[in-house]
Structure 1
């Protein structure tokens, strides 16, 4: 088998961490980029991951991280700077000649989206497509594990309220993102890379249904359903 190494953005996070674990278990080599050295980066090194320090939005740092990489996973926090980081990543991928990219987008990414995050994801998809490196856009629904994050837990515990920045009918994946999806997309043949990959599982339900059935928690959304998101 020819030597290959995979770049995983966000290896200290949920999806990147799951992909890293799956790739290492399959005997693959993994490199990641972290903003700073800390206990999480040390744990990755202990697992055999090559850890570089840098900024995912800095094209020089990204080019250094992608040098010698076969395929790469790109994910960026839902915050400002995502489009610029996508452009830097896409250009660095062209310069280093990697074979393919898996880009974490979202189910509602589209030109006419009212959500700035969803529209930014759609623009990032266009940037990756223009760049020419074969890219697969992964479009999952809401991740169930987000409900366990500190802000949500505090709101539910203290006020009995789940506050949402989106409509209550948004579907969630009760099991989150299966960890083998990313590793499978990264390791597949370049000839089959590309397109949009919509993630779904058999256990999908609405957020309001989850809490109405499981507890007395109230679900508060900023607006009612008025059409597709």
Structure 2
């Protein structure tokens, strides 16, 4: 049988494929442009996207396990629910669904609410799924290269409450482990839920200290101006997406997104090792920047 990975050429999907490539499993990668997809050896590219119903049905033929990542789009919820229904109706025995940390609590953030609604559908429909809730990606901070290197400023308004940022390599590892566990099972397995989190509570003080050490220079925090953030985002993204990101950052400022010790322990158990730390990520990234 076969594993199908959606979002296969994106940040998370590419990590999953990298972790699956030596597993011996048959893996398909859903992509709009198979002829352009750069995939690991042995992974089969199949044409399709979640909004293409007929294409998705074709892609799911003979698939036993599905990794589902719905894009951050105005119709994200519709795409996710339709994909889950098609997977159910085609007899997929296992699903790994990528949600988001704090999906239930951040009801005023559109993509969080969409993902939690999909979680509810999984639960109420009795689908054999693992729900993964990743926190804010450490790799998002690669975009801080220019302000960090040229101005000595960390410019993302993450505030003082703290965020348990997670490394995308750990997300890929966790998802691959659950896909393979479900693929190897002789019958559908019970639902599982994991918060995918890092070990650190990353706030303004922590992040400037981490980058200061990594870059061997003083780093200051750029402040909590989310109006400025939204304006910057609107220069490169649709207004609806800029507002969605602003609302997420507002909740980080107000409430934070810090994992509990049991959540970190459960993540550690899933990986079979400790999740990567933010300081290690910063040091590694700074070294890569210096070598270019």
TM-score by length of 1: 0.82
- 8 Å contact kept, 1:5–1:68: yes
State the structure with more CA Rg: 2
The count of corresponding residues between Structure 1 and Structure 2 is 220
Match 1:30 to one of 27, 32, 37: 27
Deviation, structure 1 residue 161:
4.0
Distance 1:193 1:57, change over 3 A: farther
Query: Which residue does 1:62 correspond to in 2?
Result: 56
Asked whether 1:205 is paired with 2:197, we answer no
1:134-173 matched pairs, under 5 angstroms:
134-149=128-143, 152-157=144-149, 160-164=153-157, 169-173=162-166
- After TM superposition, the structure 1 stretch with the greater mean CA deviation from structure 2, 74-83 or 209-218, is 209-218
Match 1:95 to one of 86, 89, 99: 89
- After TM superposition, the structure 1 stretch with the greater mean CA deviation from structure 2, 64-73 or 13-22, is 13-22
In 1, Cα distance between equivalents of 2:147 and 2:211: 16
In 1, Cα distance between equivalents of 2:155 and 2:161: 10
CA RMSD of aligned residues (A): 2.6
Asked whether 1:108 is paired with 2:86, we answer no
Distance 1:180 1:219, change over 3 A: same
Deviation, structure 1 residue 206:
0.8
- 8 Å contact kept, 1:103–1:135: yes
Deviation, structure 1 residue 37:
4.0
- 8 Å contact kept, 1:11–1:17: yes
Match 2:115 to one of 115, 121, 124: 121
- 8 Å contact kept, 2:5–2:68: yes
Match 2:72 to one of 78, 83, 97: 78
Deviation, structure 1 residue 51:
1.0
Query: Which residue does 1:8 correspond to in 2?
Result: 5
Structure number having the greater helix percentage: 2
In 1, Cα distance between equivalents of 2:108 and 2:158: 12
- After TM superposition, the structure 1 stretch with the greater mean CA deviation from structure 2, 219-228 or 188-197, is 219-228
Deviation, structure 1 residue 26:
1.0
Asked whether 1:179 is paired with 2:172, we answer yes
Deviation, structure 1 residue 131:
3.7
Q: CA offsets, 1:178-198, max 9 Å, x none?
A: 533112111223554413211
Secondary structure of 1:205's aligned partner: coil
Structure number having the greater strand percentage: 1
Q: CA offsets, 1:29-77, max 9 Å, x none?
A: 11121122454x1x22x61211112222222221111110111001123
- 8 Å contact kept, 1:10–1:75: yes
Q: Which runs of 5+ in 2 are unaligned?
A: 213-218, 227-249, 258-292
Distance 1:130 1:112, change over 3 A: same
